[in-house]
Amino acid sequence: MSRASPGAAERGNVFWYIMVAIVLFAALSYAVSQSNRGSVAAMSEEQARLAATEILDYASALSTATAQLRLRGFKDTEVSYENPVVAGYANPSCTDAACRIFSPDGGGVAYKAPVTEWLDSSHTADPGYGAWVFSGDNEVDRVGTDGSTAANKELIAFLPYVKKTLCLELNRKTGMTNPSDAPPREADQIAAYTALFGGTYTHGESLTLPDPDKGKNAGCFEGGGNPPLGTYHFYQVLMAR
pLDDT tens sequence for the chain (241 residues): 545 555 555 556 655 556 656 655 555 554 444 433 333 333 278 899 999 999 999 999 999 999 999 999 999 999 999 999 999 999 999 999 999 999 999 999 999 999 999 999 999 999 999 999 999 988 888 886 776 767 678 899 999 999 999 999 999 999 999 999 999 999 978 888 998 999 999 877 889 899 998 989 999 999 988 899 999 999 999 988 8
Residue 232 has, within 13 A of its CA and on its CB side, a CA count of 20
The pLDDT of residue 37 is: 36
Cis? peptide before 227, omega within 30° of 0: yes
Region for 7 from its dihedrals, namely left if φ exceeds 0, alpha if ψ lies in -120 to 50, beta otherwise: alpha
pTM above 0.85, yes or no: no
For 133, the 3-state DSSP assignment is: strand
Angle between helices 6-71 and 164-174 (to 10 degrees): 50
- Asked if 137 contacts 205 with a C-beta cutoff of 8 angstroms, the reply is yes
CA dihedral 108, 114, 118, 124 (to 10 degrees): 160
Q: Side by side, which strands form the sheet with 154-162?
A: 205-207, 133-140, 154-162, 232-239, 218-222
In angstroms, the CA 188 to CA 223 distance is 8
Phi/psi at 60 (5° precision)? -65, -40
First to last CA, the chain: 104
Q: Which residues, listed in sequence order, are joined to residue 159 by a DSSP beta bridge?
A: 234
The dihedral formed by the CA atoms of 146, 151, 157 and 162, expressed in degrees to the nearest 10: 50
CA separation for the pair 89, 21 (Å, rounded): 65
* pLDDT score at 30: 45
Residue 236 CB neighbours (<10 A): 22
